Amino acid sequence: MNIIKPKKLKIGDTIGILAVSGKIKEYQRIENAKKFFENEGYNVIVSETCKTSHRYMAGSSDEECIRNLEEFFSNKKINAILCARGGYGTLRLINKINWDIIKDNPKIFAGYSDITILLNLIFQKTGIITFHSPMASGDFGSDINDYTKEKFFNTLKGETKVIQSENGKNYYKGEAQGILTGGNLASLCCMDFLPDENIILFIEDLNEPVYKIDRMLTYLFNNNEFRKKVKGIAIGEFLNLEDKSMYEDLIFELGKELKIPAADGFKITHGKIKDTVPVGAKGLFNTQEGTITILEDYTE
């Protein structure tokens, strides 16, 4: 695959806030995020789909979401696209997107949760590195955490070299190299997801019972081709677990079965304190140090 590195974010750039997943319930948060970025020295364009909705999804229709997505990529004035929120909706779009428009107009594309689907498919179909990052409504539209803010800007400027876990548990010791791939576990299980190269899989989720986490991981790793590609599992937060001990038993069992490095403690999460992770960058994962070291530049 030909890797395409987006241009790094710089002061004065224009950030497009794009809604292509769940509907925006509190538009004031979009206004707050717009004001935040303007105060930081950026220009902001907000998609029409932030103001319209159908059922529980952003935009008056799927077609409006696709049109806004493609227009934001083709618009030369927009340097970076930040998704407004997650929820549900991106899966409905993926068979209708003109991927050539995206490939011909590489730029920063960032978000998490349901946006996981687009982060990984954009990389797989175009080679453009994307970013698992905080979003406009839930993060920048409310009280943004200083750590989250710093890591967001540092990473989009190409300055992050190491992603460090905190108080992590080592489920299977070791070190591995691979392309950083992943995000929200439930979203990963909804897409046609077979990497071309060896990967370091990073995962997170919230409000999922342990048996569903088990089912989702089993679903992914029942695919032998997928299993062969995963060389390490970097685990973010699984929030609101009803039985943490049972969950940890599950992950220990998975690491032992796969015999690949597995450790948690990474600030990859639906929570307030987040790292920003370049999807498609080459990384070195070390469970004993609790680090993901990014081995190559991921922006230009």
Question: Which of 124, 156, 188 is where one domain is finished?
Answer: 156
Domain that holds residue 68: 14-156
Residues 168, 262, single domain; the answer is yes
Residue 194: the pLDDT is: 83
| 300 assigned to some structural domain | no
- The gap from C-alpha 112 to its chain's centroid, in whole angstroms, comes to 4
Alpha helical stretches, state H, the chain: 27-39, 62-74, 99-103, 116-126, 146-156, 185-188, 210-221, 224-229, 244-258
pLDDT per residue over 135-167, tens digit each?
A: 999 999 999 999 999 999 999 999 999 999 999
CATH number at residue 257: 3.50.30.60
Please check whether residues 138 and 204 belong to one and the same domain: no
Confidence band of 193 (pLDDT split at 50, 70, 90)? confident
Residues 233 and 149 in one domain: no
Residue 9 belongs to some domain of the structure: no
CATH number of the domain encompassing residue 127: 3.40.50.10740
Tens digit of each residue's pLDDT (9 = 90 or more) over 86-130: 999 999 999 999 999 999 999 999 999 999 999 999 999 999 999
Query: Could you give the CA distance from residue 197 to residue 194 in angstroms, rounded to a whole number?
Result: 9
Same domain, 210 and 240: yes
Asked if 169 and 45 touch (Cβ cutoff 8 Å), the reply is no
Q: In angstroms, rounded to a whole number, what is the distance separating the alpha carbons of residues 18 and 76?
A: 15
pLDDT at position 212 is 98
Mean pLDDT of the chain: 97
The pTM of this model reads 0.98
Residue 275 lies in a domain: yes
Asked which of 99, 123, 156 is the last residue of a domain, the reply is: 156
Q: Is 113 a catalytic residue?
A: yes
Are 71 and 203 within one domain?
Answer: no
- 177 and 152 together in one domain: no
Given 64, 70, 204, 208, the catalytic residue:
204
pLDDT the model gives residue 85:
98
pLDDT tens digits, residue range 25-48?
Answer: 999 999 999 999 999 999 999 999
Do β-strands 43-46 and 14-18 pair in parallel, antiparallel, or remain unpaired?
A: parallel
pLDDT band at 192 (very low <50, low <70, confident <90, very high): confident
The answer to whether residue 21 is domain-embedded is yes
| Residues near 100 by beta carbon (within 8 Å), at least 6 away in sequence | none
What are the tokens at 222? 């029942």
State the pLDDT at residue 65: 98
Are residue 286 and residue 231 in the same domain, yes or no? Answer: yes
Catalytic residue among 21, 47, 208, 270: 270
What pLDDT shows up at residue 11?
Answer: 98
Do the domain assignments include residue 2?
A: no
Which H/E stretch holds residue 244?
helix 244-258
Which tens digits make up the pLDDT trace of 241-265?
999 999 999 999 999 999 999 999 9
What's the domain count of the chain? 2
Is 262 a domain residue?
Answer: yes
Neighbours of 170 (CB within 10 A): 17
Instruction: Give yes or no: residues 108 and 72 share one domain.
Output: yes
Same domain, 119 and 169: no
Q: Which of 21, 113, 133, 165 is catalytic?
A: 113
Question: Residues 92, 209: one domain?
Answer: no
Last residue of a domain, one of 115, 135, 156: 156
Residue 15 has pLDDT above 80, yes or no: yes
Q: Are residues 78 and 193 in the same domain?
A: no
* β-sheet bridge partners, residue 277: 132
In this structure, the answer to whether residues 151 and 232 fall within a common structural domain is no
The answer to whether residue 6 is domain-embedded is: no
Q: Please say if 132 is a catalytic residue.
A: no
Are 20 and 89 in contact, with CB atoms under 8 Å apart?
Answer: yes
142 classed as catalytic = no
